[in-house]
Structure 1
Amino acid sequence: MKIKFLVLFLCGAVLLCCGDDPKSEIKVENQEQSEGHSRITAKTIEDLKYTDYVLSSEAEDVVSTWEKYRELDTQISYLKKADFSFFNGDIELLTKFIDGFKAGLPENLKTNPIISRVAIIETALLKLNENLTLDNIKRKDKLFGIKEVLVSFANLNYQINKKLERDMFDKIQPE
């Protein structure tokens, strides 16, 4: 009787000890660290390398009536602070915004280079929306989408400045 009890006790002890696997604990810790590392912060976005252009004072006056540009400028500043609420929202709201953005383009800015930059912004915004709303997108792809939006907006600013500067030089008459 004592032998049966001893064998049963040893079998139970072996079964209980088999569940402790230090390797599985390490995997869980590594997974938690990698998930924490995948969070995109304002510092991460700040570290992206690209050339940022701001509007000149003349360009500020021209786009002051373009409401959707002002709204996008505000949302881009939030994006730089890692606030993705506008960019990962409902796709219908984003497409309505883009349609309003294109429709509100001032007449004196409707040139081929500026229209093409607006189309590039549209593509970048839609791509970023997809990257942020899908769960299986890698962190580097999300960062690349953020950088595309920032670069496309900076290039739009550059084209607006360039167009207004060219218009100013065209008005100058030789003496």
Structure 2
Amino acid sequence: MTMVRVLLVVSFLVLVACDENAKSNERDETVKSQDLTKINAKAIESLNYTDYALSEDAETIVNPWEKYQELTIQINYLKKGDLSFFNGDKALLVDFIKEFKDNIPESLQTRPISSRVTLLETFILKLNDDLTLSNIKVEDKLESIKAVLESFSNLNFQINKKLERDLFDSIKPE
């Protein structure tokens, strides 16, 4: 008789636990689907990528590069969920990118940095297309945002790498 009671209690606990898991899963899926219906700061923060910052030497070199400073501000707005710069008029974006590329400081005009700038240009234009078209899924828009953030981060990494390489080249053996 006690064995039957133990089995009944265990069965009851299993049923209650399964019901709680099902409710928890439903809540998680509801939250995820709500996050995927709109692009906000929380959705952008959840993107997984490596974010490189500029070194102090690199900050000094890019400080007079106005378009880089403006792009940094717009990338920070993008991280906060403000898409206005990237979903605006494409012609303005193309003009901005052209000026950005034309005003690269002389010391940073190398092939690796130029290729990172070209990738950044490509991903910015793709993001603009994805944001302005209404038939693009939110997941695809988030992937485009991630691509822009990654390409900007990689540009920063390449600038740091170039300056580090220049520093090591300037050190002469005794």
**The TM-score by the shorter chain falls in which range?**
0.7 to 0.9
Structure 1 vs Structure 2: percent identity of aligned residues?
62
Structure 2: gaps spanning 5 or more residues: 1-32
CA contact (8 A) 2:35 2:43 kept: no
In structure 2, distance between residues paired with 1:145 and 1:99: 20
The 1:43/1:165 distance shift into structure 2, 3 A limit, reads same
CA contact (8 A) 2:36 2:139 kept: no
The equivalences for 1:25-40 within 5 A come to 37-40=36-39
Query: Any idea what the Cα deviations from partners look like across 1:41-67, whole Å, max 9, x if unmatched?
Result: 101100100000000000000001110
In structure 2, distance between residues paired with 1:144 and 1:98: 21
Structure 1: gaps spanning 5 or more residues: 1-33
Aligned counterpart, 2:98: 99
Aligned counterpart, 1:153: 152
Aligned counterpart, 2:69: 70
The equivalences for 1:93-132 within 5 A come to 93-132=92-131
Superposed displacement of residue 36, structure 1: 7.5
Q: Answer with 1 or 2: which has the greater Rg.
A: 1
Structure-2-length-normalised TM-score: 0.80
Aligned counterpart, 1:51: 50
CA contact (8 A) 2:36 2:138 kept: no
The 1:172/1:131 distance shift into structure 2, 3 A limit, reads same
> RMSD over aligned Cα, in angstroms?
1.4
Aligned counterpart, 1:164: 163
In structure 2, distance between residues paired with 1:144 and 1:101: 24
- How many residues were matched structurally? 143
Aligned counterpart, 2:79: 80
In structure 2, distance between residues paired with 1:64 and 1:92: 26
In structure 1, distance between residues paired with 2:34 and 2:146: 21
Query: Any idea what the Cα deviations from partners look like across 1:59-101, whole Å, max 9, x if unmatched?
Result: 0000011100000000000000000000000001000000000
Structure-1-length-normalised TM-score: 0.79
Query: Any idea what the Cα deviations from partners look like across 1:99-134, whole Å, max 9, x if unmatched?
Result: 000001001101000000000000000000000000
